[in-house]
A and B are shown apart, each in its own frame.
Chain A
Amino acid sequence: AQTVTQSQPEMSVQEAETVTLSCTYDTSESNYYLFWYKQPPSRQMILVIRQEAYKQQNATENRFSVNFQKAAKSFSLKISDSQLGDTAMYFCAFMKHNAGNMLTFGGGTRLMVKP
């Protein structure tokens, strides 16, 4: 079974600053996907970024980027130029490569962006 750990229950950052959210996972799989989802108070889970394990290049989406360290089983999310709208719960998630597999989520990190 896979496990996903987010060691930071809460974090805060000043607007326009950079923040990094940590995620580690444990798996015996060699091919898989990793995701970061954002959940604002509206409850809607929004996909932030996705990484395929077979790709060495770190994924980036505008202000969001990841540091994927496969050997260390680490998948951190960096948010640059933080905005007030980034305030939300952030969940790291793992999915085996085989089609149709479910997501395994970490416990989440609550991020507060302060003006």
Chain B
Amino acid sequence: GAGVSQSPSNKVTEKGKDVELRCDPISGHTALYWYRQSLGQGLEFLIYFQGNSAPDKSGLPSDRFSAERTGGSVSTLTIQRTQQEDSAVYLCASSFDQETQYFGPGTRLLVL
């Protein structure tokens, strides 16, 4: 079946603009995770959704970052007032058993 999909594949934006990144998990997967991959910080956890439970936002680096998951499926990660240090690859993963996570191809964000 289809894997995790993410859009856009690449995004270039100007400093100060807002961006939205989308993740479509594997059908039937109840858990969804966002990670950030940057040269300086490596792979970092951002946020986790499980069903209808309140999300675990412990990894969000600032209040400019937010995410939602509508209908227990698609998720959107929003970065407000983007900064150059937000430039990174944003990876989404989903899981059926909350043990093994399957990743999407990521969105490469470049903030000029």
Contacts and interface: CB of A to CB of B under 8 A. Distances in A.
Interface stretch (B13-21, B67-75, B76-84, B98-106): B98-106
Contact of B100 (A44, A47, A102, A107): A47
Interface in A63-115: 91, 95, 99-108
A42 interface: yes
Contact of B45 (A45, A104, A106): A104
Contact of B50 (A46, A100, A108): A100
Contacts of A108: 42-43
Contacts of B43: 91, 103, 105, 108
A100 B89 contact: no
Contacts of A47: 100-102
B105 A42 contact: yes
Contacts of A103: 33, 35, 43, 45, 93, 101
A21 B108 CA distance: 27
Contacts of A107: 42
B40 to A, nearest CB: 11
A42 B103 CA distance: 12
Nearest to A91: B43
Given A50-B100, A95-B99, A43 B106 contact: yes
Name which of B35, B93, B102, B103 has the most chain A CB atoms within 10 A of its CB.
B103
A42 B10 CA distance: 12
Contacts of A95: 99
Nearest to A97: B99
B33 A102 contact: yes
A105 B101 contact: no
Interface of A: 33, 35, 37, 42-47, 50, 91, 95, 99-108
Given A45-B106, A99-B99, 4 more contacts: A43-B91, A44-B103, A44-B106, A106-B42
